[in-house]
Structure 1
Amino acid sequence: MDRSENPHRFDDLRALFVNCTLKRSPEISHTEGLIDKSRAMMEKNGVTTEVIRAVDHDIAVGVWPDMTEHGWEADAWPSLYERVMAADILVLCGPIWLGDNSSVMKQVIERLYACSGILNEQGQYAYYGRVGGALLTGNEDGVKHCAMNILYSLQHLGYTIPPQADAGWIGEAGPGPSYLDPDSHAQENEFTNRNTAFMTWNLMHMAAMLKRAGGIPAYGNQRSGWDAGLRFDFPNPEYR
């Protein structure tokens, strides 16, 4: 369908959801249950989506782009990074443990950071022009704390964060049902469903705006230019 007929089509966008559950496939992931809600909305509006369950991949620990160059025998991250870079939208998703993000989430963010020094063709950091969001599930407190960590990390690496770019579900504090458990009634939760819908649409809108504008304007933020001596009007006498 042509966008002139329906302005809310996003057939030129790709979205990647990285599920940072601690459970290997095919074990049920409650986080993936919430991912499926956002993913279905994107696909209905033309976005090509993909889900990676990070724990299924042999991702090395470290903060270099390819850890096989630093003593590790294997590292799946370089191939996963290609899939990250193919996406206009990146949503980091995971469970809450002890009020914080999972160890897998921390590892994924560290590996994203490992590639943050790579530049694009305009001399900007490579993640410029992409948008990021966060989805979280659990049966204890911590949704906002976890989202703050994820969204801060993504913007620091160069991602654009649209308004209300996070959503989550938690049950009652303490042991209890998880998102996909029938007695949780999580999938009928008005607060979670509204926030998930708003997050999904804001990610699509912002990603489309950036893509059709050619990304973030490449002036005043070019690492290659700064390294070459440009100071972009920075008011410091020693640079004049």
Structure 2
Amino acid sequence: MALTAFAINCTLKPAPGESSCERLISETLAELERHGVSGEQIRAADFNIKPGVTSDEGEGDEWPYIRQRILDADIFILGSPVWLGHHSSICQRVLERLDAFLGEKDDHGRLVSYGRVAGVVAVGNEDGAHHIVAELFQGLNDVGFTIPASACTYWVGEAMQPTDFKDLEQTPKNIQSATAGLARNCAHLAKLLKQAPYPDQES
């Protein structure tokens, strides 16, 4: 069964600036590929995502393109750096635009995001990964995504030191294990939801 994944990197740096979050998302997509899932990531900072809570905020808004990419994929990976213990402002903007899904239904009366699996990536050289994962899990589930077991991977460096994840010569084994688990469980659940979709919703 062919599956696809789409990832949004919410680094504050537009391409081609180096991004630790991009590295961990890339490793996640590589693990997903081992389970037959083809994927791609974009940087939200490279697009004009207007503020708002609708799916189209008018002229110049590039969110509609990103929204369609999310809905075309079976697995959605949302990645954020850690800033002052929280996800990035760009990641918050993405969550706010995803809020529109609450008012959008498919042909079976379900939220348009139903049947799609989501996972989270967080990375930084300060504490806050668990907080970010908790907030993104809740937000993604609120708007209709299904969260598998152990659907996150993260890295935070030792406190008060300058090393970034992108600077590591090798990804630590425990991070590799978490990333592999995220990919394995996301792929497994996505396949199950393809075979047995959520039931129609009562009108």
Query: Is TM (by shorter chain) over 0.5?
Result: yes
Match of 2:173 in 1: 190
Match of 2:32 in 1: 42
Match of 1:18 in 2: 8
1:137-183 Cα offsets, whole Å, 9 max, x none, are 0000011100000010011111111101111001111242000114x
Match of 1:217 in 2: 199
Matching residue's letter, 2:129? V
Select 2:138's aligned residue among 134, 152, 162: 152
Q: What's the offset of the Cα at 1:208?
A: 0.5
The within-5 A match list for 1:2-81 is 11-68=1-58, 73-81=59-67
Is 1:203 aligned to residue 195 of structure 2? no
Matching residue's letter, 2:66? L
Distance between the aligned counterparts of 1:169 and 1:118, measured in 2? 35
- Is the Cα contact below 8 Å between 2:35 and 2:184 reproduced in 1? no
- Is the Cα contact below 8 Å between 2:29 and 2:38 reproduced in 1? no
Q: Return structure 1 stretches of 4+ with deviation > 6 angstroms.
A: none
- Is the Cα contact below 8 Å between 1:129 and 1:216 reproduced in 2? yes
Structure 2 unpaired stretches of 5+: none
SS of residue in 2 equivalent to 1:97: coil
Distance between the aligned counterparts of 2:27 and 2:111, measured in 1? 31
Distance between the aligned counterparts of 2:118 and 2:131, measured in 1? 16
The percentage of aligned residue pairs carrying the same residue is: 39
In our comparison, the structure showing a higher alpha carbon Rg is: 1
Select 2:114's aligned residue among 105, 108, 128: 128
Match of 2:163 in 1: 177
Distance between the aligned counterparts of 1:45 and 1:118, measured in 2? 31
Distance between the aligned counterparts of 1:101 and 1:174, measured in 2? 19
- Is the Cα contact below 8 Å between 1:116 and 1:127 reproduced in 2? no
* Matched pairs, number: 203
Deviates more, 1:203-212 or 1:73-82: 73-82
- Is the Cα contact below 8 Å between 2:35 and 2:187 reproduced in 1? no
Report the TM-score when normalising by structure 1: 0.81
Q: What's the offset of the Cα at 1:190?
A: 2.3
Matching residue's letter, 2:64? P
SS of residue in 2 equivalent to 1:140: coil
If asked which structure has higher relative contact order (CA below 8 Å, sep 6+), I would say: 2
- CA-based RMSD of the aligned residues comes to 1.2
Structure 1 unpaired stretches of 5+: 1-10, 226-240
Distance between the aligned counterparts of 2:167 and 2:74, measured in 1? 32
Deviates more, 1:81-90 or 1:40-49: 40-49
- Is the Cα contact below 8 Å between 1:129 and 1:160 reproduced in 2? yes
Report the TM-score when normalising by structure 2: 0.96
Matching residue's letter, 1:203? C
Is 1:98 aligned to residue 69 of structure 2? no
- Is the Cα contact below 8 Å between 1:90 and 1:133 reproduced in 2? yes
